[in-house]
Structure 1
Amino acid sequence: MTKLFLIDAIGPFFRGYEKRRINWSKIPFGHLQTVGEQADDQWQMIEEESRHFAGRVSNMGYNAVTLDDLAHLSDHPWFEDEVRERNSQLAARMRRVMDIHLQAGMKVFVTSDVVCTSSAIDERLAGDRGEMEEWYADVIRTFFESFPEVSGLILRIGESDGLDVDDPIRSRLHIRTAKDARKLLGRLLPLFESLGKKLILRTWTVGAHPIGDLIWHRNRIGQMIQGLKTDALILSFKHGASDFFRYLPLNDVLTRTKTPKIIEFQGRREYEGAGEYPSFIGSECEAFHKELEGDENLVGFSMWCMTGGWHGFRRRPFVESSAVPEEIWIELNCVSAIGIFRHKLTARQTIEKHLGSERVESVMKLLQLSDIVIRELLYIPDYAQQQRFFRRVRIPPLVHVYWDCIFFTAPMRKLMRHFVSDHEGAVRDAEAVLTLFEKMKELARSSDLPVEDIEFMQDSFQLIALARRYYFLPWKQETIDEIIAAKKRYKQKWPRSQRQRYRIKTEFKPFKVKRRTIGWVTGLLLRKQSGYRVIDHLVILSLLSFIYRLVGKKGQKALPKFVRKSAMGIDSVMR
């Protein structure tokens, strides 16, 4: 089969979306207008930016785009009248955008959560899972009848809409077990085969329900695809056993799976500044490509150049033409991935081909230094290298800086002091890495790359280094005063009216839980290997969920707001 080199094309749909903190997981459909002069103007700009996007990424070598989503582009007589009318208007507008990508030689794939419904659908189906899947299959069939130009669907079964989504159509987790997934695939794949379409199933999950370990549990994958013989199915894997972080080896489930598959990368690194500063993935792509070389079942990759995260960073790649685009760091990631996986180049060769031989030396040196700074300062290596699992989730190697938040809080201090053994060494290493920024600015200047981005990175990472001192040095009021003053200076230097910045979360009220208690609790709840312990089967996976439900919302308020309210919230992990 022709290999797929997918890239998400949703950037133009965020134009003018001025929410302070944005859910980047899919197109904000509530922001899109459908009728009237303002709608015409909005969609004209979407089409114009989509032309820029399609031209630039097709020239790089990408041959397919992903757009959102089945739920808002489909029709069914059971939908509410207002939903059907709005979906019809959105579908008409979106067809013009699809045509732009098709004319650029790109295939079009559309995303779908399993499953999306409205109030009327829920009332009609009354919780009957079999009827719901029949209805979902019927929606897919009618969608392809309306959009025969679409090459397939990308199904997400392990994550649903975030808590912030306010839409008459909402997704929720439907698949709970591998058996459920196998049954759904058995129902849908004959339809895809008959229509000549591809079903790309994402293995990403947030840990909910027994299928929540699908991304790393090879037996779960085997149970899900057991007995399936079809050319219509492609599995999609993130490159690690967690989200898009560093310090994660290649997901070994990916290497063991014989079903046709693609690997997912993220060019706009949601946990590493989202394109506000260099966060190069070329070296990782090179390493993963070498590990996967010769795997005949690898049929391409998917690049998320826009999708992912809940944060205020706003750079949108490939939507405008300029000599040095503000999204240059995202661009270099996307160029490198396609160069390595499609054109068999090295990371250095991709940069040389893209920016020219006269700049390659200084640019590569800058990217290498930024990689050191990120690995040694944004991450805390001692913590990041520790593999730990909670229930069905691989604990991220980065928690003290998350999306656009830097945490100066007493609970985080106590946790980091527990997990990191060499406190003085962690502070010393952070201070040493800060010295690299002067050279990085010099290299950016000589490479004609945005020096201001390196200055922003420097100021942000100085705060992160200060967080190291707060975490690991003896508590002093002078340190607290320094944090408060540094936060004020940072906000004054980088006002939101000029560019987005990190949010500084401070809470210095003493955390009364003793370190010995933290050690006992983490030892009980967290395991160092992916395989489940006896206590996980007996307590952590079942009884803990029951206790969580038992304490109810009142008890759950004891958890930090960030944990309860971000994305799908902790509630999803505890199912």
Structure 2
Amino acid sequence: MRTLLFLAAALTAGLFLGSRINAFLSISIKEKDLGDSVSAASKDLPPLPFRMVDLGGVGIEADAQAWGKDYSHNTRRFDSVFLSGEPFVDTAGADRVFSQFREYADRMSALGFNAIEFQAFLELVDFDTLGGGSDVYPEGGVERKRHEALRKFYSRFFEYAHGKGLRVILSTDMVALTPALKRYLSGLPGGMDVESPEFWSVYSEGLSELFETMPLVDGLMIRIGEAGPLYNRKGWDYTSELMVRSVASVKEMLVSLTKTAEAHGKYIIFRTWSVGIGEIGGMHTDPAVYERILGGIYSDNLIISTKLTKGDFWNSVPYNPTLYSGRHKRIVELQARREFEAFNVIPNYIGPDYGDALRGFIERNPNIVGVWVWTQAGGPIRQGPMMIYPFTGHWLWTDANVFASAMIAAHPGEPVEKWTREWVRNTFGGGNEVEDGLTELLTLSHGTAVKGLTIPQFARKEVTGVGMEIPPVIYSYWDLMESSTSVMSLVYKASRGELQDAVRDGFAAVSEVRKMKEILASVEGRIEKGREWIPGMEASLDYEENLFSTLAWHKKFSLGFYEWLDKGGDEREREWKASAEEYKKAKAEHMERYQGSLDFPAYNFVMADNGVAQAGRTGYTVWASRALLLVLVLFAAFVIRKGRDAGSGLGTPLFLSVFTFGMLEAFTSFGAPVFVLTTGVPALIYFLGLRFTVFGSRGGFAYSLLPVLALLGLVLAVTSVRGPYYFWYNVWTSGIFRTALASSAVILLLAHFYLVYSYAHGKLGAWRLTGRMLFLTGSLAALYGLVFIVFGLDRTLGRLNDEILMMPVMVSRVLGFSTHLDFLVVINETAVKAGAVLASAGLF
């Protein structure tokens, strides 16, 4: 009866948890609605009154030694100007960057911009009105001296900006912190409770002080969706933390800060950019979530700023639906230096799309009041080309987008082609042939970039999982080539009915680049001015051709490999292997020509190469899996035949340990030493601990492990078909497989613990057995969790992911698991705490 009850409970638990795990990992693939109608030009549309631009490349050093080695999102603007000690600002450096600023401000003002954004806030605030006036920063302290120097530094920038008709908007991430401010906030009655009015009253006091001491500041822009180490400046006390993650915290923040802005006749500009999962995760793209969070908050002094697309500045996504409605004043964010399209170092003219989008927003939403154009900002600027607008590098193509964006905002009713031709005339002169030719080149450029850098058949699908939409540009995110099993399995599945088109498009992009080269060559001799740009234009097109050729071969390999995983077949296997060799040749040429280049840097193919190498070892892993499965079956048969007395000596735990390491090696394609160690060592500890602390010399040890062996056998049976990638392909694409695997794992692990109890409790007694099992499992859980705490969750998971290629490379190597999958932090902390509690309980 006890066994029957256990079986019923195990089956119930297994099926329930299996279905929950499957639901959590389930993926939705559907066609995107990209049918936004092209809005016809209309002379009746008035200029947008608020036309803001970022600070461009002002104060960003062209440091060749540091470029190309940094995925940080901090611009490190004014790095060589701001000093760690007194006088805090380098005078000569300040003069140099102010000269840059004047040139830039003159240029932006001439284009019709009337506002400019500076990244600063806490650096200018002393919190004098809190308590006794020195509760945050002591009188005479280093922070106050630094703030005074920085206020003086920025004041002449603000004065010059106002003189050129540019309103001054400061920007900050929230929650913005310094060590002293964090101590003060932690000492509040509710501590750092971002849903508390008392918490935000501190920032309101600081904002009020800012508006009074620096009256030329016209407003503050706030971002809550990105913060933390990736965005903080090393050695700089002014940091941020990602804490505003609930509806209540957003409302408290905006109500408090907007009241302060109203009192001073200033603006709060709130960016809807929200990243990750949770109750505010959809604010940026879902009109219903937007309305639920922001609908009850309104002020003439509150402006909502939103990226123009449903997502990041990605291609192949609809325009942002939240911009079509709402009663708030709205500004649309536009990116001129397109970070997801080779950082715009290739021809990539986005003017027609921006014109279409803005006209559509304006026609449907009368509250669209302006734009914010990013000329430099976005992504890891030092990992891309050393292009600092408009001072260093090949910023020509970005300039075309800046000009078009400015003209569209000031004249939304005019046809975009008018501004395209005007930019060509202003930049190159020449007659109609030059104008017609380069206008055609620009018009072709964006579609070609999209075709070359993405897999359009995937990009046109809406693919969502774990509460987030998978970026359509994820195949080549910034300069990172994707090769993870999770992404490439879904890319293949989404493109499965159009594989030949996907491969053809990759090579078609190369042909289109060659056409653009022909256009440039046909008009080059007639260009009258701006001839200094011609070598860079030619080099840019050469770079684009080479890059797209490399990607075309990688696409053909990847899609062919996953088609073989899905369908098998000797011919398919030969094709993907041949494509892999062509990719290797193309990549080698790419690295030879562009590795180390600052203007046209080589792409990061590290993960792609790892994927190709692991795919090449598939044959070995298949035969290794089959051999291991045979050994496992023979061992299990031996145990079953011998009964509970089987494996009572030392040979069984040693055999199981060796077998586990061998299986892990095969499962990771013989290329994941860290993963093998961090997984195999805990398994070894468990086997030995179970043998010596629970069973001792008593029988039943090997027999209790039969369910575990059965689970390993299931995995080996799958990898014996077409290798470990076949296993992962089914995990990511088959709900039936996920449910069956997860349910089987739960049932078999419960069966293992049941057998341990059945065979060991008679000698030890239930109390002692429970204590020893709690100590063993709890110690392992705490130890495993501590590894991630000591070495860092993101760093450790990133290293493991580099080896097993399970999650997207842009998450593992750049943004961090804790940013997008913050529940992993909770799981890790819970493992340590719960493990320590269980281990401690086991001692009593």
Residue 514 of structure 2 is aligned to residue 465 of structure 1:
no
Residue 733 of structure 2 is aligned to residue 519 of structure 1:
yes
Residue 479 of structure 2 is aligned to residue 404 of structure 1:
yes
Residue 560 of structure 2 is aligned to residue 485 of structure 1:
no
2-structure distance, mates of 1:522, 1:88: 64
SS at match of 2:462: coil
SS at match of 1:212: coil
With over 3 angstroms needed to count, the CA separation of the structure-2 counterparts of 1:286 and 1:38, relative to structure 1, is: closer
Q: 1:527-538 residue pairs with structure 2 within 5 A?
A: none
SS at match of 2:250: helix
Please report how far the alpha carbon of residue 550 of structure 1 lies from its aligned counterpart in structure 2 after TM superposition: 11
Q: Does the 8 A contact of 1:98 with 1:108 survive in 2? A: yes
* Higher relative helix content: 2
Q: Does the 8 A contact of 2:554 with 2:580 survive in 1? A: no
SS at match of 2:734: helix
Residue 370 of structure 2 is aligned to residue 300 of structure 1:
yes
Mean Cα displacement is larger for which, 357-366 or 196-205? 357-366
Residue of structure 2 in register with 1:281 after alignment: 350
RMSD over aligned Cα atoms? 3.0
Q: Does the 8 A contact of 1:152 with 1:199 survive in 2? A: yes
Specify which of 799, 819, 831 is matched with residue 572 of structure 1.
819
Mean Cα displacement is larger for which, 242-251 or 164-173? 164-173
Q: Does the 8 A contact of 1:70 with 1:112 survive in 2? A: yes
Specify which of 211, 214, 221 is matched with residue 154 of structure 1.
221
Please report how far the alpha carbon of residue 413 of structure 1 lies from its aligned counterpart in structure 2 after TM superposition: 4.3
Please report how far the alpha carbon of residue 566 of structure 1 lies from its aligned counterpart in structure 2 after TM superposition: 4.7
Specify the code of the residue in structure 2 equivalent to 1:401: S
SS at match of 1:13: coil
Residue 57 of structure 2 is aligned to residue 15 of structure 1:
no
1-structure distance, mates of 2:558, 2:70: 27
Residue of structure 2 in register with 1:545 after alignment: none
1-structure distance, mates of 2:548, 2:326: 39
Residue of structure 1 in register with 2:398 after alignment: 330
Mean Cα displacement is larger for which, 203-212 or 270-279? 203-212
Please report how far the alpha carbon of residue 150 of structure 1 lies from its aligned counterpart in structure 2 after TM superposition: 1.1
Residue of structure 2 in register with 1:388 after alignment: 463
Q: Does the 8 A contact of 1:79 with 1:118 survive in 2? A: no
2-structure distance, mates of 1:157, 1:216: 15
Please report how far the alpha carbon of residue 391 of structure 1 lies from its aligned counterpart in structure 2 after TM superposition: 4.3
Mean Cα displacement is larger for which, 400-409 or 58-67? 400-409
Please report how far the alpha carbon of residue 215 of structure 1 lies from its aligned counterpart in structure 2 after TM superposition: 0.3
With over 3 angstroms needed to count, the CA separation of the structure-2 counterparts of 1:16 and 1:436, relative to structure 1, is: closer
With over 3 angstroms needed to count, the CA separation of the structure-2 counterparts of 1:128 and 1:326, relative to structure 1, is: closer
Residue of structure 1 in register with 2:82 after alignment: 33
Residue 206 of structure 2 is aligned to residue 136 of structure 1:
no
Mean Cα displacement is larger for which, 175-184 or 439-448? 439-448
Please report how far the alpha carbon of residue 564 of structure 1 lies from its aligned counterpart in structure 2 after TM superposition: 4.8
Residue 156 of structure 2 is aligned to residue 96 of structure 1:
yes
Please report how far the alpha carbon of residue 74 of structure 1 lies from its aligned counterpart in structure 2 after TM superposition: 2.7
2-structure distance, mates of 1:523, 1:39: 63
The number of residue pairs the alignment matches comes to: 549
Residue of structure 2 in register with 1:315 after alignment: 387
Please report how far the alpha carbon of residue 209 of structure 1 lies from its aligned counterpart in structure 2 after TM superposition: 3.5
Residue 801 of structure 2 is aligned to residue 559 of structure 1:
yes
With over 3 angstroms needed to count, the CA separation of the structure-2 counterparts of 1:136 and 1:380, relative to structure 1, is: same
1-structure distance, mates of 2:170, 2:117: 6
Please report how far the alpha carbon of residue 57 of structure 1 lies from its aligned counterpart in structure 2 after TM superposition: 1.4
1-structure distance, mates of 2:738, 2:442: 40
With over 3 angstroms needed to count, the CA separation of the structure-2 counterparts of 1:434 and 1:522, relative to structure 1, is: farther
Specify the code of the residue in structure 2 equivalent to 1:327: W
Specify the code of the residue in structure 2 equivalent to 1:99: E
Mean Cα displacement is larger for which, 505-514 or 24-33? 24-33
2-structure distance, mates of 1:464, 1:109: 41
Residue of structure 1 in register with 2:313 after alignment: 244
With over 3 angstroms needed to count, the CA separation of the structure-2 counterparts of 1:331 and 1:118, relative to structure 1, is: same
Specify which of 33, 41, 47 is matched with residue 98 of structure 2.
47
SS at match of 1:199: strand
2-structure distance, mates of 1:26, 1:420: 37
Please report how far the alpha carbon of residue 392 of structure 1 lies from its aligned counterpart in structure 2 after TM superposition: 4.5
Q: 1:151-550 residue pairs with structure 2 within 5 A?
A: 151-163=218-230, 165=232, 166=234, 167-294=236-363, 295-310=365-380, 311-319=383-391, 326-343=394-411, 344-356=413-425, 358=432, 359-407=434-482, 413-421=488-496, 422-445=498-521, 446=523, 448=527, 449=534, 450-473=537-560, 474-475=572-573, 476-501=576-601, 502-505=603-606, 506-507=609-610, 508-510=613-615, 511-512=724-725, 513-520=727-734
With over 3 angstroms needed to count, the CA separation of the structure-2 counterparts of 1:390 and 1:168, relative to structure 1, is: farther
Residue of structure 1 in register with 2:22 after alignment: none
Please report how far the alpha carbon of residue 229 of structure 1 lies from its aligned counterpart in structure 2 after TM superposition: 3.7
With over 3 angstroms needed to count, the CA separation of the structure-2 counterparts of 1:392 and 1:413, relative to structure 1, is: closer
Q: Does the 8 A contact of 1:182 with 1:224 survive in 2? A: yes
Mean Cα displacement is larger for which, 299-308 or 565-574? 565-574
User: Which digits, 9 at most, give the CA deviation of each residue in 1:531-575, with x for residues without a partner?
Assistant: xxxxxxxxxxxxxxxxx9999646676434944555542212223
Q: Does the 8 A contact of 2:62 with 2:386 survive in 1? A: no
Q: Does the 8 A contact of 2:477 with 2:810 survive in 1? A: no
With over 3 angstroms needed to count, the CA separation of the structure-2 counterparts of 1:550 and 1:244, relative to structure 1, is: farther
User: Which digits, 9 at most, give the CA deviation of each residue in 1:3-31, with x for residues without a partner?
Assistant: 11111014112123434225345444655
User: Which digits, 9 at most, give the CA deviation of each residue in 1:301-321, with x for residues without a partner?
Assistant: 11111111023322122347x
User: Which digits, 9 at most, give the CA deviation of each residue in 1:111-141, with x for residues without a partner?
Assistant: 0111111222222222332343121112211
2-structure distance, mates of 1:193, 1:522: 57
Q: Does the 8 A contact of 2:313 with 2:340 survive in 1? A: yes
Please report how far the alpha carbon of residue 241 of structure 1 lies from its aligned counterpart in structure 2 after TM superposition: 1.7
In structure 2, the gaps of 5 or more residues are: 1-46, 128-133, 426-430, 528-533, 561-571, 616-723, 740-783, 803-807, 823-844
SS at match of 1:151: strand
Please report how far the alpha carbon of residue 406 of structure 1 lies from its aligned counterpart in structure 2 after TM superposition: 2.4
1-structure distance, mates of 2:350, 2:170: 26
With over 3 angstroms needed to count, the CA separation of the structure-2 counterparts of 1:376 and 1:52, relative to structure 1, is: same
In structure 1, the gaps of 5 or more residues are: 526-547
Q: Does the 8 A contact of 1:377 with 1:461 survive in 2? A: yes
Residue of structure 2 in register with 1:544 after alignment: none
Q: Does the 8 A contact of 1:111 with 1:153 survive in 2? A: yes
1-structure distance, mates of 2:238, 2:735: 40
Q: Does the 8 A contact of 2:484 with 2:809 survive in 1? A: no
Residue 155 of structure 2 is aligned to residue 87 of structure 1:
no
With over 3 angstroms needed to count, the CA separation of the structure-2 counterparts of 1:2 and 1:367, relative to structure 1, is: closer
Larger radius of gyration: 2
Q: Does the 8 A contact of 1:205 with 1:215 survive in 2? A: yes
With over 3 angstroms needed to count, the CA separation of the structure-2 counterparts of 1:214 and 1:260, relative to structure 1, is: same
With over 3 angstroms needed to count, the CA separation of the structure-2 counterparts of 1:164 and 1:66, relative to structure 1, is: closer
Residue of structure 1 in register with 2:15 after alignment: none
Residue of structure 1 in register with 2:623 after alignment: none
With over 3 angstroms needed to count, the CA separation of the structure-2 counterparts of 1:2 and 1:460, relative to structure 1, is: closer
* Higher relative strand content: 1
1-structure distance, mates of 2:590, 2:321: 41
With over 3 angstroms needed to count, the CA separation of the structure-2 counterparts of 1:220 and 1:514, relative to structure 1, is: closer
2-structure distance, mates of 1:480, 1:489: 14
With over 3 angstroms needed to count, the CA separation of the structure-2 counterparts of 1:33 and 1:186, relative to structure 1, is: closer
Specify the code of the residue in structure 2 equivalent to 1:431: F
With over 3 angstroms needed to count, the CA separation of the structure-2 counterparts of 1:82 and 1:465, relative to structure 1, is: farther
1-structure distance, mates of 2:511, 2:107: 36
Q: Does the 8 A contact of 1:213 with 1:220 survive in 2? A: yes
Specify the code of the residue in structure 2 equivalent to 1:86: R
1-structure distance, mates of 2:477, 2:440: 27
